[in-house]
Homo-oligomer: A and B are copies of this chain.
Amino acid sequence: MSGGGNFTQRMIEIIARNAAYAAAIDAGKLAQWVEMFTEDGLYLAQPRENADRGLPLATIRCEGRGMLADRVHAIEKTMVFAPRYVRHLISAPQVFNVSATEIHCVSNFLVTQTLTMQPTQIMACGEYRDRWRIAENGAHLLAARIAVFDSELVPNSLIYPL
């Protein structure tokens, strides 16, 4: 089924990377979020309805670090929205394909949102469909993360990445 120390270390590595991913966004350190992707890394936030039907429409689409950085710039400088805290809970992954240079896996996520003087509410939940690229030095970077979320209705609209 799984077996052995290699599987264990790979699971823990992904779990640790997802903790860092969550912390980068939740602490508002969005430059760190960008650096978790490969130079040409793909980030999509897409309603499950569309993802399951193979429709291309996505709520956020960033192809490569340039577009990821643009998104960060928009969030920090140009978008107008009520201040809020976000918080990610990411489950352990299901690991599918593994090679020396890539890992394909899927994790569930739940993201909460807290506006000033408001109770915490669920912003979105869904699953990350990931391709992690493993560099020669052992670094793991996201070649692709598709954040498929269950509800088309995201309260107060989607500002921060899932």
Contacts and interface: CB of A to CB of B under 8 A. Distances in A.
Contact of A8 (B12, B91, B94, B138): B12
B87 A108 contact: yes
Interface in A74-123: 85, 87-95, 106-108, 110, 112, 114, 117-122
Q: How many copies altogether? A: 3
Contacts of A48: 85
Nearest to A9: B8
Nearest to A139: B1
21 contacts: A1-B13, A1-B139, A3-B138, A7-B16, A8-B8, A11-B15, A15-B92, A16-B92, A19-B108, A22-B91, A23-B108, A87-B125, A89-B125, A110-B112, A112-B150, A114-B151, A118-B151, A119-B122, A119-B151, A120-B124, A121-B122
A29 to B, nearest CB: 12
Given A11-B15, A16-B2, A151-B114, A108 B88 contact: yes
Given A87-B126, A110-B89, A117 B23 contact: no
Contacts of A1: 13, 138-140
A93 B16 CA distance: 7
A31 interface: no
A11 B12 CA distance: 8
Contact of A12 (B7, B23, B140, B151): B7
Contacts of A23: 94, 106, 108, 127
